[in-house]
Structure 1
């Protein structure tokens, strides 16, 4: 059933006069008569009674009228909502993130974005970097926030921030009072680290940092989330090398100290599909860049 025919029917039902309805529709009367006849034949019921005194709805026409109006309203809403999505006013974003991103300006960026886009729903999913790449490829995510990772074709990235790694020690550790720590002094420590299956690049990077200082770390625990790393250290189960952002977690019984010398940096990347273009993704990226920059300067961005 064509929406055009329903629109003609609803207009005639309101005017109950072919000439007035035709003028409203900016057509002549004969095409309107043909359209109403076509609709009646398609439905298999007479919708109007035509008499010398005018036009009136049949019981079938009265039954159809509210439903026709509802369908026309829904179609108009669908058009407007689709236009809004295309213009980045309305929509639904699915954001993947690694846990450390929560301490790198992401909550502030989301608050600013949602103040600007009150009709956009944002769902957050905590996933490791490899899971986010897969989610983008399968269309289950629109944007991801990951650590360093090799990206397949069709996935693009933007570096949001780089920061130093720091030593994370349990309170009362022998090195806790040092202003900075030579990484070589951790050679006899039990190291708590991400699983190589979860974050191979981070696992390799930290392992190579230790090797560059003359030792292969004794990896006692391998975990999936940074908060698990911090929790194990706080319970005196070992030490860790973590991104500096995790100092903002505020977990008790932990001491963070900078590392001496030059070391690889911890990175946070935004990743998304190169096609199709998504205006909402670009708007959220803008807010992420602003929030990360403010965090780096020691400020807290406001929505």
Structure 2
């Protein structure tokens, strides 16, 4: 049904007078009469009884009156929601993330997003970088927070955080009190490393850092999560080279020491589809930028 005709019908049903209803609608009376006849023809039902004594609703008209009000209210609500979504103040955001992002400002960014966008629902999926990127390409994710990886065609990216790698050692390790650790000092140590299947980029980066210092690391364990890496270190199962953000975890039995010399950084990037544009992605990225800047 034409919402304009329903609107005219509701006005007349409230006034039960063509002249007053037309005045409220800011139209003349003839177009209102034509509109009511059109609606009755579309429905195949008489909605008003007209007589010298005035206008009154038929049984069909009384039934339609309450439903028409509901339909018009839903229509107004849907139109407002569409405007809100287009303006980035309402909607649904599907976010992929790697575990280390929880220590790189993501919780703070989500808290701020909830305050500024209370009508936005954010669904989160923890996955490795490759899985997230596939999710973005297949329209299952709107934005992905990934480790350093080259975005494919059609995918936009932005650097969110860049920080140094540090040595992660058991608290009783011989190097625990050193001001800095040279990677050559880890030669012969049992290294706990991020799985090459989960994050080949990180695995390869750390492996190459060791090779650049003249040794191939003795990999003791390969795990799927950074928290598993540092947990095994705290249990005395080996040492690790990790992003400095993991110092914020607060796990006991660990010591973090800077690496001596120059090394490639640990990076976290956001990736999303270039088309169609989603204003909620840009809102989240801005909150992430602010959250990362405010981290200690």
The answer for unaligned runs of 5 or more in structure 2 is none
TM-fit CA distance, 1:121 = 2.1
Distance 1:233 1:206 in 2: 16
Q: What residue number does 2:196 align with?
A: 196
Please say which of residues 271-280 and 8-17 is displaced more in the overlay: 271-280
Is the partner of 2:227 in helix, strand or coil? helix
Is the partner of 2:167 in helix, strand or coil? strand
Q: What residue number does 1:224 align with?
A: 224
Alignment of 1:248-267 (within 5 A): 248-267=248-267
Is the partner of 2:241 in helix, strand or coil? strand
Alignment of 1:1-303 (within 5 A): 1-295=1-295, 298=296
1:170-214 C-alpha deviation (Å, 9 max, x unpaired): 221222222211111222122211111211111110110011111
Q: What residue number does 1:301 align with?
A: none
Distance 1:291 1:12 in 2: 55
The answer for unaligned runs of 5 or more in structure 1 is 299-303
TM-fit CA distance, 1:24 = 2.0
1:4-23 C-alpha deviation (Å, 9 max, x unpaired): 22111111101111222222
Is the partner of 1:173 in helix, strand or coil? coil
Distance 2:178 2:102 in 1: 28
TM-score using structure 2 length: 0.95
Please say which of residues 189-198 and 258-267 is displaced more in the overlay: 189-198
TM-fit CA distance, 1:264 = 0.8
1:46-101 C-alpha deviation (Å, 9 max, x unpaired): 11111111111111111111111001001001111111121222222222211111
Distance 1:4 1:154 in 2: 42
1:255-276 C-alpha deviation (Å, 9 max, x unpaired): 1111111111101112111122
Distance 1:48 1:179 in 2: 90
Question: Aligned residues, how many?
Answer: 296
Kindly report the root-mean-square deviation, in angstroms, between the aligned alpha carbons of the 2 structures. 1.5
Distance 2:175 2:252 in 1: 17
TM-score using structure 1 length: 0.93
Distance 1:120 1:146 in 2: 22
Please say which of residues 63-72 and 125-134 is displaced more in the overlay: 125-134
